[in-house]
Amino acid sequence: MFRPKFSLMGESALLCDFASGRFDQKTQARLWSACSLLQSQDSVGNVVAGINNLLVSFDPLVTTPAAVEAAVCIAWEESDAVLTRGAEHEIEVDYGGPETDFGEVAATLSLSAREIVDLHVAPTYWVAAIGFIPGWGYLTGLDERLVLPRRSEPKTRVPSGSVLIASTLTAVMPLPSPSGWHVLGRTEQVLFSPDREPHCLLACGDRVRFREARP
């Protein structure tokens, strides 16, 4: 039976790492399925799907890490990788500008402004996971040439609507927040509404395309 890498995150949560190097789409789809199977179990609390990993909460006075590990392995075995095709979204972006890291990114990657925009709008991205802050979707499918590690120090405040990249992912900031990602541009699109359902614009399995705003 396949065993992910397990580590504790405090006494009440277990981090289950299913990754082997780079992000894998099939693994992610299978994790959503494993996530649902686990959530239906009494011994397990919240399950948060990250990028090729799961964070499983439990009460250590009711069950043990070993028992939770076993439950995770079983859920993985029983899971089904169905690459659901969710909703499709097109997000209009104003690239560059004084509040962005566009210049820095261009310099670091030795790309022109035009090349960065073209590389960012070309793919159809896929929502791999929801998390971090309300309405944040981790989007996979970023062009290899735009891959950059996170900033060495996070920025204290990145404005709402910021379009970001880091590592092999891209995302849109739904609310102002600190972040270690690089800002490429801004959008007016609303991603999270606390007052109406569905609260999040994006869901796992949705597709996203970016479009350059006309000047």
Partner 1 sequence: MTAAVEILESAPVTSVQDLGRPDYVALGVSLGGTMDRLAAQVSNAMVGNPNEAACLEVGGFPFRLRFHRRLKVALTGADCEALLNERPLPPWWTFQVHANDELALNLPIRGRYCYVALAGGIDIPPILGSRSTDMKTGIGGFDGRGLRPGDRLEVGSPGRGVPAGEFGVSLSYPLLPHQRMTRLRVLAAAEFDALTEDSRALFSRARWKVTSAFNRTGAKLDGARLSLIAPRDVLSYGVVPGLIQVPPLGRPIIQLAEANTCGGYPRIGTVIGPDLRLVAQTPAGGSVCFEVVDHARSTAALAEERTALATLKQSLFRATAA
Give the separation between CA 40 and CA 103, rounded to whole angstroms: 47
CB neighbour class for 141 (10 Å; exposed up to 12, middle 13-18, buried from 19): middle
Spatial contact of 53 and 172, defined as CB atoms under 8 Å apart: no
Q: How far is the CB of 76 from partner 1 (least distance, A)?
A: 16
Nearer to partner 1, 30 or 117 (CB): 30
Q: How far is the CB of 215 from partner 1 (least distance, A)?
A: 32
Nearer to partner 1, 1 or 61 (CB): 61
Nearer to partner 1, 59 or 118 (CB): 59
Q: How far is the CB of 9 from partner 1 (least distance, A)?
A: 5
For partner 1, the binding residues (CB under 8 A) are 5, 7-13, 15, 17, 19, 23, 45-55, 57, 60-61, 65, 129-136, 138, 149-150, 152-154, 166-167, 169, 174-175, 177-178, 180, 192, 194, 199-200
Q: How far is the CB of 70 from partner 1 (least distance, A)?
A: 16
Q: How far is the CB of 101 from partner 1 (least distance, A)?
A: 16
CA 9 to chain centre: 19
Nearer to partner 1, 138 or 210 (CB): 138
Q: How far is the CB of 137 from partner 1 (least distance, A)?
A: 9
Spatial contact of 145 and 119, defined as CB atoms under 8 Å apart: yes
Q: CB under 8 Å to 172, separation ≥6 — which residues? A: 91, 136, 137, 161, 162, 163, 164, 187, 189, 191
Nearer to partner 1, 175 or 213 (CB): 175
Give the separation between CA 205 and CA 83, rounded to whole angstroms: 7
Nearer to partner 1, 121 or 200 (CB): 200
Which segments of 13-150 does DSSP mark as H helices, in order? 25-39, 65-78, 102-109, 113-121
